[in-house]
Amino acid sequence: MTVHRSDRPLLEIQDLRTHFFTQDGTVKAVDGVSYEIGDGKTVGVVGESGCGKSITALSVMRLIEQPGRIVGGSVLLRGRDLLRVDDAEMRDIRGNQISMIFQEPMTSLNPVYTCGDQISEAVSLHEAVGRRQAWERAVEMLQLVGIPDPARRAKQYPHELSGGMRQRVMIAMALSTNPELLIADEPTTALDVTIQAQILELMKSLRERNRMAIMLITHDLGVIAEMADDVVVMYAGQVVEQSDADTVFAKPHHPYTTGLLASIPRLGEKRQRLEVIQGVVPNPLNLPKGCLFKRRCPHAMPVCDTPPPLQEIARGHLSRCWLTPAGEPPAVGPEATGELAEAAASALQAPA
List of residues contacting another protein (CB under 8 A): 61, 63, 91-96, 99-100, 102, 104, 107-113, 121-122, 125-126, 157, 159, 170, 173
Peptide bond into 351 cis (omega under 30): no
Q: Which is nearer to another protein, 177 or 243 (CB)?
A: 177
Minimal distance, residue 79 CB to another protein, in Å = 21
Cβ proximity to another protein, 170 vs 231, nearer residue: 170
3-state secondary structure of 279: coil
Which residue, 63 or 151, has its beta carbon nearer to another protein? 63
Strands (DSSP E) contained in 301-344 are: 311-314, 317-319
Q: How far is the CB of 221 from another protein (least distance, A)?
A: 25
Closer CB to another protein, 108 or 218, in the complex = 108
Report strand pairing: 230-235 vs 42-46: parallel
Give min distance, CB of 57 to another protein, in A: 10
Smallest separation (angstroms) from another protein to the CB of 173: 7
3-state SS class at 233: strand
Query: CB of residue 187 vs another protein: minimum separation in angstroms?
Result: 13
3-state secondary structure of 336: helix
What values do phi and psi take at 336, rounded to 5? -90, 0
Nearest distance, CB of residue 161 and another protein, angstroms: 12
Q: Residue 220 half-sphere exposure, CB side, CA atoms within 13 Å?
A: 18
Give counts: helices (H), strands (E), the chain. Answer: 11, 12
Nearest to another protein of 119, 323 (CB atom): 119
Task: Specify whether the CB–CB gap between 101 and 174 falls below 8 A.
Answer: yes
Residue pair 324/312 in contact (Cβ under 8 Å)? The answer is no
Nearer to another protein, 28 or 166 (CB): 166
**Smallest distance, another protein to C-beta of residue 150, A:** 19
Least spacing, CB of residue 58 vs another protein, in Å: 8
Neighbours of 215 (CB within 10 A): 26
Question: Smaller CB distance to another protein: residue 22 or 107?
Answer: 107
Distances (CA, A) of 81 to 18, 214, 321: 16, 19, 30
Is 156 exposed, middle or buried (CB count within 10 Å of its CB: 0-12, 13-18, 19+)? middle
Strand partners, 13: 35, 75
Residue closer to another protein (CB basis): 159 or 289: 159
Measured distance CA(10)–CA(213) in Å, rounded: 8
